[in-house]
């Protein structure tokens, strides 16, 4: 009986999550897709929890466990569906190949990325908006600068990349450690820095 009711409550959570997400993206302004989807998961978990709070089938600890599971499920949904679709270069490649009749010359992918992907997905605008909303950057007089939070995250990311990403990663038929230090071949002098 408890298992059936827990599954029914979880099904209710899924329905509320999808409904909340749809209403949010359809009728409200969204600053960052990931944050909006997380908020939708929280709303659905809280609503389901409130509905379940009247149930005498579960004790308080079991109800809390279900809410935690729903929150984690909402987070998984936020990261695995709308955020992946919104941000994924891999999905873009598949959609672009489909748009171009089912095939693109491999030698022209750099052109596709620089001339089409950046423009079509407004990639610079999207990423700067996300970083502004996250509080990791600020823009002053046309100069994009890291905040203290941004400095900490950049340092942590770089440390993780250098120490905990694969040293032998398959890249177009060859194993390489290039992506553990992508800046190793960056130009020393550039003209776009600001003070």
Q: Could you tell me the pLDDT band of residue 104, with boundaries at 50, 70 and 90?
A: very high
Residue 42 is predicted with a pLDDT of 98
Q: E-strand spans in 41-166?
A: 137-140, 143-146
pLDDT band at 74 (very low <50, low <70, confident <90, very high): very high
Q: How confident is the model at residue 186 (pLDDT cuts 50, 70, 90)?
A: confident
pTM value is: 0.78
Give dist(CA 25, CA 39) in Å, integer: 12
Reported as a pLDDT band with limits 50, 70 and 90, residue 81 is very high
User: What is the mean predicted confidence (pLDDT) over 95-115?
Assistant: 93
What is the model's pLDDT at position 2?
87
pLDDT of residue 1: 81
The model's pLDDT over 58-73, given as tens digits with 9 standing for 90+, comes to 898 999 999 999 999 9
Mean pLDDT along residues 132-152: 96
* pLDDT at residue 97, rounded to an integer: 94
Q: Which residues contact 8 (CB under 8 A, 6 or more apart)?
A: none
Report the chain's mean pLDDT, rounded to a whole number. Answer: 93
Write out the two tokens for 59.
């004790």
pLDDT digits (tens, 9 = 90+) for 110-136: 999 999 999 999 999 999 999 999 999
pLDDT reported for residue 190: 81
Identify the residue whose tokens are 């004790």: 59
DSSP conformation class of 101: T
């Amino acid at each position: 009986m408890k298992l059936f009711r827990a599954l029914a409550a979880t099904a209710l959570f899924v329905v509320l999550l999808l409904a909340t997400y749809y209403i949010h993206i359809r009728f409200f302004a969204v600053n960052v897709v990931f944050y909006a989807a997380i908020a939708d998961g929280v709303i659905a978990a809280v609503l389901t929890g409130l509905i379940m709070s009247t149930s005498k089938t579960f004790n308080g600890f079991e109800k809390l466990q279900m809410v935690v599971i729903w929150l984690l499920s909402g987070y998984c949904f936020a990261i695995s569906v709308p955020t992946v679709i919104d941000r994924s270069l891999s999905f873009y490649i598949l959609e672009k190949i489909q748009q171009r009749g089912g095939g693109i010359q491999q030698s022209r992918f750099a052109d596709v990325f620089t001339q089409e992907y950046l423009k079509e997905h407004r990639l610079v605008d999207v990423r700067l908006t996300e970083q502004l909303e996250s509080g990791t950057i600020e823009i002053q007089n046309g100069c994009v600068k890291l905040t203290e939070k941004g400095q900490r995250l950049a340092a942590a990311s770089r440390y993780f990349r250098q120490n905990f990403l694969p040293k032998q990663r398959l890249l177009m038929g060859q194993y390489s450690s290039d992506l553990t230090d992508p800046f190793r071949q960056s130009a020393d002098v550039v003209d776009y820095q600001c003070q």
